[in-house]
Amino acid sequence: MRGSVRIVVVTMALAVVASACSSSSSSGGDTSSGATGTQGGTFSVANCEPATSLIPSNNYEGCGTQVFEVLWEPLMAFDENNNLIPDQADSVTPSSDGLTYTIKLKSGWTFHDGTPVDAQSYVDAWNYAADCTNGYILNSFFDKIVGYSDLNPSDCKDLKTHELTGLKVQDDTTFDVKLSAPFSQFPVTLTFDAYDPLPKAFFDDPDAFNEQPIGDGPYMMDGKWKHDESITVQRYEDFAGTPGSADKIVLKEYTGDAIWTDFQAGSVDIAPINSTHLLEAEQTYADSLQRFASSSFLYLGFPLYDPDFQNKELRQALSLALDRDAVIKALLPNETPATDLISPAIDGYREGACQYCTLNVDLAKQKFDDAGGFSGTLNLNIYADDPIIEQSAEAIRNQWQQNLGIDVKINAIPYNSWYGNTLNQKQDGVWFLDGWVMDYPSIQDYLTPLYGTTGSYNSTGYSNKQVDDLLKQGDEAPDVEAGLPIYQQADDLVLEDMPVIPWGYGGFNSVNTANVTNVVKDGPFDQWALEKVQVVQ
């Protein structure tokens, strides 16, 4: 039914559950060896503790994604052929100049507390997220709507308004969105969680709402969020769309390798499989193992706010000194080497676009010397509690030491600290691996958030006016196809500057017990369509 994008350390077991845009489509099929599921019953799925919140416009990482997939319904979605279609929207219609979109909602939809999902609930939610005084993580997703700058002055003080002037309610089921410039991909963005509506109960007490959110999707919260333990949802009987199959879903929250242990013991019905256990799963759980295409892009991020990493030739040298193919083949069978900043799943991807992404020790040494080398110890930060990631980091350290003579120290960062550190730039050194899963299927979404000067996940501190200008030109192209070559020019500039080292493209692998059937992926996005899963009874 719906999903959303989150930035994650996507090679880790937990990060594999991250997802992307909302979708009503599915892929895959019955994976329970011929078993037939029915309506009703309860099943469990491996997830992780959301690092920020359960409010859609204030969550930007993988652990909240699967929860939103069943708690909220998007305005737009994708059909089984991955064509963009209205979902909770009845229509999204642009004006002739592309500056105003009229959004017409389907009638009869309600939140889980019985209150109506109407135009005002969308406008109020968008205004709240766009208001800098609320400090919401997805604030920047509203920057193309007229009035955004008034809600986001440089000092975020003494606001004269708390409403986007570009939003106007026409009636209970209709509202207008006026953009500051044409953005041909705007309807696609409406598949993303940032644009979910919020009921009046949210504004009464946002903190309480976060512990037991009230959405408008096929499932509602069954009690409060049990932090570091589980989130349980039950079918919302008054859901206006296609109802969920199971009565209840328990999203169990895991860290480290406990997922695999619990799955083997039959304590969780659906689990992601990472590189650590992929080969074993192929042998032991071949009947239920599914290997889906993924939109995930993995990289090593540079702290450009650190003087040690200012020289792009140093960054290029570090990339050229790495043998990605060897490390991935030996340790990370869930991945394929990256040669672009864009996922192969996205229109605009170009194999081999990165000229510094294959091993070339001689050129690496030349660029390293031209950059003046690297003095002292280079910190390589990794996600803790994953032995495969640790082994991969060891391989990278050995290659940098052998090929460039750099002293490298590996620092393990706990999962719950990783997201805040990378986004808020609290930890010096190179990050391995950070990652990105699309918010919506667009080359723009792989570029603007990470490399735009004000990008919502610009964790490196990268800024290039030429890149910003090209991204703006791509946004304002007459259609998506016309914008592709412009975005690719920006892609080339970023690859030359190398604020990140492209590493690999992850996979989305899934196993399940015989207790469930119809375990399918949510269209092109990296999450399960949990509302479609059936319990075998």
Q: What is the 3-state secondary structure (H, E, C) of 74-129?
A: CCEEECCCCCEEECCEEEEEECCCCCEEEEEECCCCECCCCCECCHHHHHHHHHHH
The helix (run of H) or strand (run of E) holding residue 451 is helix 443-451
| Each residue's pLDDT tens digit, 172-205 | 999 999 999 999 889 999 999 999 999 999 999 9
- As to burial, measured by CB atoms within 10 angstroms (0-12 exposed, 13-18 middle, 19+ buried), residue 104 is middle
Computed from CA positions of residues 296, 297, 299, 302, in that sequence, does the dihedral angle turn out positive or negative?
A: negative
- CB-based contacts of 332, cutoff 8 Å, min separation 6: 11, 275, 388, 392, 504
Yes or no: say if 379 and 430 are a contact pair by the CB < 8 Å rule.
yes
Distance in angstroms (rounded) separating the CA atoms of residues 185 and 480: 6
| pLDDT band, residue 298 (cuts 50/70/90) | very high
- CB-based contacts of 264, cutoff 8 Å, min separation 6: none
3-state secondary structure of 192: coil
Q: CA-based angle 492:498:500, to the nearest 5?
A: 115
3-state secondary structure of 42: strand
Residue 243 structure tokens: 């109802």
Q: What is the pLDDT of residue 10?
A: 34
Q: What is the pLDDT of residue 419?
A: 56
Residue 70 structure tokens: 């069943």
| Each residue's pLDDT tens digit, 152-167 | 999 999 999 999 999 9
Distance in angstroms (rounded) separating the CA atoms of residues 272 and 257: 11
Yes or no: say if 109 and 116 are a contact pair by the CB < 8 Å rule.
yes
**Res 46 pLDDT > 50:** yes
CA distances from 492 to 320, 328, 442, 447, 495 (A): 17, 24, 16, 11, 5
Strand 248-253 relative to strand 230-235, pairing: antiparallel
The helix (run of H) or strand (run of E) holding residue 23 is none
Yes or no: say if 12 and 536 are a contact pair by the CB < 8 Å rule.
no
Tell me the CATH architecture of domain 297-505: Roll (3.10)
Residue 392 structure tokens: 């991969």
Strand 76-78 relative to strand 89-94, pairing: unpaired
Distance in angstroms (rounded) separating the CA atoms of residues 388 and 280: 14
% of residues, the chain, pLDDT over 70? 91
| pLDDT band, residue 388 (cuts 50/70/90) | confident
Distance in angstroms (rounded) separating the CA atoms of residues 116 and 300: 45
- Dihedrals φ, ψ of 386, to 5°? -130, 105
Distance in angstroms (rounded) separating the CA atoms of residues 276 and 332: 8
| Each residue's pLDDT tens digit, 395-449 | 999 999 999 999 999 998 876 666 555 555 456 788 887 888 888 889 999 999 9
Distance in angstroms (rounded) separating the CA atoms of residues 38 and 344: 36
Distance in angstroms (rounded) separating the CA atoms of residues 241 and 262: 33
Q: What is the pLDDT of residue 142?
A: 96
Looking at per-residue pLDDT, the higher value among 291 and 374 belongs to 374
| pLDDT band, residue 87 (cuts 50/70/90) | very high
The rounded mean pLDDT for the chain is 88
State the DSSP code for 288.
T
Yes or no: say if 47 and 66 are a contact pair by the CB < 8 Å rule.
yes
Question: Of 31-35, 109-113, 346-350, 437-441, which gets the smallest average pLDDT?
Answer: 31-35
Interaxial angle between packed helices 443-451 and 480-497, expressed in degrees from 0 to 180 and rounded to the nearest 10 = 40
Distance in angstroms (rounded) separating the CA atoms of residues 314 and 369: 8
State the DSSP code for 145.
B
In the CATH hierarchy, which fold is given to the domain comprising 15-30+54-226+518-532? D-Maltodextrin-Binding Protein; domain 2 (3.40.190)
**Res 15 pLDDT > 50:** no
Give the best-scoring range by mean pLDDT among 206-210, 280-284, 521-525: 206-210
CA distances from 375 to 35, 104, 314, 401, 500 (A): 61, 59, 12, 13, 20
Distance in angstroms (rounded) separating the CA atoms of residues 32 and 118: 40
Cis before 341? omega within 30 = no
- Dihedrals φ, ψ of 199, to 5°? -80, 170
3-state secondary structure of 380: strand
CA distances from 411 to 302, 377, 390, 430 (A): 15, 12, 10, 10
Strand 516-517 relative to strand 534-535, pairing: antiparallel
**Res 11 pLDDT > 70:** no
Looking at per-residue pLDDT, the higher value among 235 and 292 belongs to 235
- Residue range 346-358: mean pLDDT, rounded: 95
Domains of the chain by residue range:
15-30+54-226+518-532, 297-505
